[in-house]
Structure 1
Amino acid sequence: MRRRLIQSTLAVVLVVIAVFGVSLVIVETRTITETARERVESEAVRLASIVDSRLLVEDKVTAEIIGDQMPDDRYAVVRIPGKPPIEVGSRPDGDVISATAPGEEGETVTVQEPRSSVTEEVARTLLIIGLVALLAVIAAVLLAIRQANRLASPLTDLAETAERLGSGDPRPRHRRYGVPELDRVADVLDASAERIARMLTAERRLAADASHQLRTPLTALSMRLEEITVTDDPDTVKEEATIALAQVERLTDVVERLLTNSRDPRTGSAVTFELDHVIKQQLAEWRPAYRSAGRAIVTSGKRNLKAVGTPGAVAQVLAALIENSLMHGGGTVALRTRVTGNQVVVEVTDEGPGVPAELGSRIFERAISGRNSTGIGLAVARDLAEADGGRLEMLQAKPPVFGLFLSSTPPRKDPDEETRRTVR
C-alpha cells in the first residue's frame, strides 16, 4: 500500500508538471523571441533617430559614432543616399533577428542580432523550469512518503492490534493517529478489547469460583457414598442416600447460582426462608470433617428465625466461613444467630489466632489469603451475600468473628418487573 500511494502521488505530480511545464516552455519561448524582436526593432528606430539628428546639423555619421550607441553583440548597417554603407560590429553567422528602420532624410538603419542569444536565453529559462520541476518532484516524493507512512503505519498498527485480540491478548492500546476514520477503527478495536477482557475475566472468575464452591459439596457427597459402600444395613444406606440426594440438590443449586452470578451478579432470587434449616444442613455436612480434625462445630443463639435471601447462596456463604475456620482457625467453631433491627445476623467464630493485622482491611479481596489457599472463598461469599441484598463483614479480628447480615423484611414486589417476567 505504501508503494502504491507513493507511485500514485508521483504520477499525479508528473502529469501536472508535464502539462503545465510544456505550456510554460512554449509560452516562455514565444515571449523571449518576441522580446528579442522588439528589442532589435527598438534599437533600429533609436539608431535611425540618432542618424537623423546628425544629418540635420550636417554632422558626420561614422562607424565609431554609431558603435558607441550599440551593444557589442549586435550588427548594424546604415545606408545614406549617395554615401557608402556604414557597417558597425561583426556580421553574425547563421540565423539572425533583423529589423530595419527608415530615417527622415531617406537613410535606413538595419540592426541584426544572432538568434543564438535568444536560444541561450531560452535554454536558461528551460534550465530554471527544469530545476523547479525537479524540486517539485522531490517535494512530491517526500510528501508522498510522509503521507504514505501516515496512512500505512496506522493500518499496520491496527492490524497488529486485531491480531493481538485474536491471539488472546485483549489489552486496549489507546493509540490514535490524527485521521478520523482510522481513529474510529481504533475506538472500535479498543472497545472490543475491553469487552473481550471483561468476558475473559468473567469466564476465569466463574471457573475459579466453580472449582472452589463445588469442592466442598463434592467432598461431602463422596464421604456419603463411601459410607454407603462400607455398610450392609439397609436403614443406614437409605439414610445416607437421602443425605446424598440432598447434597446433590445443593450441588445443583450451587451450579445454578454460579451461572446466574456469572451473567449478572446483581440478579437475585431472594425469598423468605427458615434460617435454622440452612444452619442445620451445614452442621450435618461439616461435622464429619471437623470430627476428623479433632475439633467441634456448634450452634447457639435465637431459633426459628426467618431471613430473606436465596437459601442456596446463604448455605454457600456459611460453608465458606466454616471452611475458612477449619483451614485457618482453631478450637471449636460456633454459629451464633441474633437479631439487630430488621436484620438477622449469623456470626461464625472460632478459637484460633485470628486474622493478621496486615490482612484485616483486604481479607475480602480476591487472591488474598493467610496461607497457601486460593484466596477467593471470602470474596465469593461476599458477592453471594450482596447479590440478595445482604452483606458479609468481619466484626472482629482476634478471635475472628464474621457476620452475615440478612434482611428479615420480605422484598417488595416491583409491578413492572413482574410484568416483564410475565411477558417473557
Structure 2
Amino acid sequence: MRRRLINTTLGVVLVVVAVLGIPLAFVETNAIETTARDNLKAEAARLLETVELRLAAGEEPDVALLARQVTGPRYATIALPGRPPLEFGAKPEGKSFDVTMTGEFGETVTVSESRDRVTRQVRESLLLILGVALLAVAAATALAVWQARRLARPLTDLAETAERLGSGDPRPRQRRYDVPELDRVAEVLDQSAERIARMLTAERRLAADASHQLRTPLTALSMRLEEIIATEDPAIVKEEAAIALSQVERLTDVVERLLTSSRRGPAGRDPRTASAVTVRVDDVVRQQVDEWRPAVAGAHRAIRVAGEPGLEAVATPGALAQVLATLLENALMHGDGTVTIRTRRTGTSVVVEVEDEGTGVSDVLGARVFERAVSGRNSTGLGLAVARDLAEADGGRLELLQLRPPVFAVFLGAKPRDPE
C-alpha cells in the first residue's frame, strides 16, 4: 500500500509538471526569440533614422556616429543607392537573426545577431524550468513518503489490533490517528474488544458458577447413590432413591437457571419475570437437612431446625435450596459445632438464618465475604457470591448478620397474610 500511494502521488505530480512545464518551455523560448527580434528591429530603426536625417540634409552619413549606434555583438550593413555598403561590427558566424528595413531614399539597413546568444538564453531558461520541476518532484516525493507512512502505520496498527482480537486478547488499545476514517475504524475495534471482553467474562463467570452450583447437588447425589449401594434393605433403597430423584430434579433446575442467566446476561433474571412462586419454607429446609445430615454426621457434628414453622415466602424453590445448600456447606467447611437453621418472620419478609458454633468471620473478611474469589480458606470464593446473586434474582437478599459466631440470613418476600 505504501508503494502504491507513493507511485500514485508521483504520477499525479509528473502529469502536472508535464502539463505546465512543456507549454511554459515553448512560451519562454518564443518570448526570448521575439525579444531578440524586437531589439534588432529597434536598432535597425535607429540606424535608418540617422541615415535618413543625413540624406535629407544632403549630407553623407556620419560613419563614426553610425558605428557608435551599433551596440553589443551585432553586425549592421547599410546599403546606399549608387554607393558602396557600410559595414559595422563583427559579422556573426553560423546561423543568425537578421532584420532588414528600407528607408525613403532607397537605403537599406540590415542588423544581424548570432543565433548562439539566443540559444544560450533559451537553454538557461529551460534549465531553470527543469530545476523547478525537479524541485517540485522531490518535494512531492518527500510528501508522498510522509503521507504513505502516516496512512500505512495506522493501518498496520489496526491490523495488529484485529489480529489480537482474533487471538483472544480483547483489551482495547484506545489509539487514535487524527484521521477521521481510521479513527472510526479504531473506535469500532475498541467497541468490539469491549463487547468480546464482556462476553468472555460472562462465559468465565457462567463456567465458574456452573462448576460451583453443580458440585453440591452432584456430591449429595453421589452420597445417596453410595447409600443405595451399601444397603440391602428395600425400604432404605426406596427412600434413598426418592431423595436421589429429588436431587436430580434440583440439579435440572440449577442447569435451567444457569442457562437462563447466561441468555439474559450476567445481571441474572429480572425478579418481576423470574420463576418465583409461593413456597413452604419448611419443605425446603427439611429437604436440605435430609441432604446434608449424612455429611454433618460424618464430621461428628449435628444439625437442627428452630424458629417459627409454617412460613411461606415468594421464591424459586431450586434457588432457595441452592442458597441454603451453600450456607450449610460453608458452615460445614469453615464452622464448628452444631449447625442451626432458624426461620422467622419480620415485617414483610421471611428470614432463614444459618448459624454454627465456630470461631466466626474476621473483621477484614466480613467486609468482603460476598465478593467473588474472596475466601477464608483454599476454596473458590464463589459460593457466597453466587448465593447472593440467586437470592437477589428472586427479589430477596443474603446478609451476614453476625461475625462471631457467624450468622448468615436469607431475606425473602413473605406471602401476604389472608385478611381475617
Same fold (TM over 0.5): yes
Secondary structure at the residue paired with 2:404?
coil
Aligned to 1:119: 119
1:390 to 382, 391, 396: 396
> What is the CA distance between 1:278 and its match in structure 2?
1.0
Amino acid at match of 1:6: I
Q: Cα deviations across residues 311-342 of structure 1 (Å, max 9, x unaligned)? A: 11111111112222222222222222222221
- Aligned equivalents of 1:71 and 1:319: distance in 2? 121
Amino acid at match of 1:203: E
Q: Does 1:308 pair with 2:290?
A: no
- Aligned equivalents of 1:68 and 1:271: distance in 2? 127
8 A contact 1:55–1:61 mirrored in 2: no
- Aligned equivalents of 1:24 and 1:349: distance in 2? 100
Gaps of 5+ in 2: none
Q: Does 1:351 pair with 2:351?
A: no
Aligned to 2:412: 406
Secondary structure at the residue paired with 2:191?
helix
- Aligned equivalents of 2:6 and 2:382: distance in 1? 57
Amino acid at match of 1:309: A
Q: Where do 1:254-269 residues align within 5 Å?
A: 254-264=254-264, 265-267=268-270, 268-269=274-275
Q: Cα deviations across residues 241-277 of structure 1 (Å, max 9, x unaligned)? A: 1111111111111111111111221242111111111
Q: Does 1:371 pair with 2:377?
A: yes
> What is the CA distance between 1:233 and its match in structure 2?
0.9
Name the CA shift for 1:69/1:303 in 2 (closer, same or farther; >3 Å). farther
Gaps of 5+ in 1: 411-424
Name the CA shift for 1:107/1:333 in 2 (closer, same or farther; >3 Å). same
Aligned to 1:41: 41
Aligned to 2:325: 319
8 A contact 1:335–1:347 mirrored in 2: yes
1:331 to 331, 337, 342: 337
Aligned to 1:202: 202
> What is the CA distance between 1:52 and its match in structure 2?
4.7
8 A contact 1:217–1:250 mirrored in 2: yes
Amino acid at match of 1:43: E
Amino acid at match of 1:399: P
Amino acid at match of 1:299: V
- Computed over aligned residues only, the root mean square deviation of the Cα atoms, in angstroms, reads 2.3
Q: Does 1:5 pair with 2:8?
A: no
Aligned to 2:63: 62
> What is the CA distance between 1:306 and its match in structure 2?
0.8
8 A contact 1:344–1:407 mirrored in 2: yes
8 A contact 2:260–2:269 mirrored in 1: no
Q: Does 1:274 pair with 2:280?
A: yes
- Aligned equivalents of 1:402 and 1:207: distance in 2? 26
8 A contact 2:51–2:61 mirrored in 1: no
Higher mean displacement: 66-75 or 311-320? 66-75
Taking structure 1 as the reference length, the TM-score comes to 0.89
Name the CA shift for 1:398/1:82 in 2 (closer, same or farther; >3 Å). farther
Name the CA shift for 1:384/1:61 in 2 (closer, same or farther; >3 Å). same
> What is the CA distance between 1:124 and its match in structure 2?
1.2
Q: Does 1:246 pair with 2:242?
A: no
Name the CA shift for 1:349/1:49 in 2 (closer, same or farther; >3 Å). farther
Q: Cα deviations across residues 126-175 of structure 1 (Å, max 9, x unaligned)? A: 11111121122222222322333333333322322222222112222233
Taking only the aligned residue pairs, the percentage that are identical comes to 66
Amino acid at match of 1:316: Q
Aligned to 1:211: 211
Amino acid at match of 1:247: Q
Name the CA shift for 1:381/1:79 in 2 (closer, same or farther; >3 Å). same
Higher mean displacement: 9-18 or 224-233? 9-18
- Aligned equivalents of 1:335 and 1:90: distance in 2? 133
- Aligned equivalents of 1:360 and 1:115: distance in 2? 107
Name the CA shift for 1:115/1:337 in 2 (closer, same or farther; >3 Å). same
- Aligned equivalents of 1:101 and 1:107: distance in 2? 9
Name the CA shift for 1:291/1:55 in 2 (closer, same or farther; >3 Å). farther
> What is the CA distance between 1:357 and its match in structure 2?
2.5
1:341 to 329, 339, 347: 347
Higher mean displacement: 150-159 or 112-121? 150-159
Name the CA shift for 1:295/1:50 in 2 (closer, same or farther; >3 Å). farther
- Aligned equivalents of 1:235 and 1:73: distance in 2? 139
- Aligned equivalents of 1:284 and 1:67: distance in 2? 140
Q: Count matched residues.
A: 409
- Aligned equivalents of 2:165 and 2:198: distance in 1? 13
Higher mean displacement: 73-82 or 163-172? 73-82
Q: Does 1:187 pair with 2:190?
A: no
Taking structure 2 as the reference length, the TM-score comes to 0.90
- Aligned equivalents of 2:51 and 2:415: distance in 1? 130
Secondary structure at the residue paired with 1:362?
coil
> What is the CA distance between 1:297 and its match in structure 2?
2.4
> What is the CA distance between 1:46 and its match in structure 2?
2.8
